[in-house]
Chains A and B, each alone.
Chain A
Amino acid sequence: MEEDKENKFGADVEVTDWGPLKITGDFRIKDLKRDTEDSPAEILLCLCGKSGIKPLCDESCKK
């Protein structure tokens, strides 16, 4: 059963309690501004607008 479930949903997307958006699993990320494309296993994306390394989180939200 567990396996079926994993096949059904490619990725898990979570708005973390502490700030960024965490995406894990099978996904492809395209950054249209910087024109980059990647398929990492996990990524933390800035949601607060304050990160210095957007679109990634640099934990500015914690400060």
Chain B
Amino acid sequence: MEREDKKYSSERKYRNKDITVYWKPSACVHASYCYRELIEVFDPGRRPWVDMSGSTTSRIIEVVNMCPTEALSWKWNDDEKNKNIEIDQLNHVKFRRPELMNINESDQEENTVSVKILANGPIIIRGNFTFSYQGIKKEIYGGLISICRCGASDHMPFCDGRHRKIDFID
């Protein structure tokens, strides 16, 4: 996918005394878990949009771990602690953990593709599926895409977060 090509583009960092949160804009699919859960820290309308003083370290970790892509990740500032990190805290670095993402979900049937319509937001599709756009068909294995539903994205057919700016109500 186009997004994959941009995977290694610039990453931004936000620190508090305990941890550093990493933000890769190109990996974001605007699933919006972060700001729905913790607007005090993750506020897309603010610059910079991450304010590490807005909540506690443990709560920030919890919400960063909800990020369904590699867009948000975190590390302890004390590198020694990164070595001893509990497996259930591991969202950071290159490990994606689909099994943890699905932890609260009932749809565990192996091959059933998950399609979620977010309120006033995009369609999030996850699993093994084929994706066709403008006559080109791609096979997506264990992937996640976010499809624009408001009609205003500059990155069609993918969501780029514009539904928020145009106040899309569905």
Task: Check: A42 CB closer than 8 A to any chain B CB.
Answer: no
Do B168 and A49 have beta carbons less than 8 Å apart?
yes
Closest to B166 in A: A49
Task: Report the Cα distance A4→B168, complex, angstroms.
Answer: 41
Most buried by A among B115, B129, B141, B149: B115
Pick the contact of B117: A15, A25, A27, A31 (CB < 8 A). A31
The total of chain B residues at the interface (CB under 8 A) is 34
Q: A27, B149: Cβ atoms under 8 Å?
A: no
Cβ contacts under 8 Å, B134 to chain A: 15, 17
Report yes or no: B117 in contact with A29, Cβ–Cβ below 8 A: yes
Q: What is the minimal beta-carbon distance from B143 to any residue of chain A, in angstroms?
A: 11
What are the residues of chain B within 8 A of A17 when measuring CB–CB? 134
Contacts of A32 in B (CB 8 A): 116-119
Query: Which B residues, 106 to 143, have Cβ-Cβ distances below 8 Å to chain A?
Result: 107, 109, 111-120, 123, 125, 127-134, 139, 141
Do A50 and B151 have beta carbons less than 8 Å apart?
A: yes
Instruction: Write the chain A residue with the least CB distance to B147.
Output: A21
A18 interfacial contact with B, CB 8 Å: no
In the complex with contacts A13-B129, A15-B133, A25-B151 CB distance below 8 A: no
Which residues of chain B have C-beta atoms less than 8 A from A23's C-beta?
A: 113, 115, 125
- The 7 nearest A-B residue pairs measured at CB: A33-B119, A49-B151, A27-B113, A11-B113, A10-B111, A14-B132, A10-B113
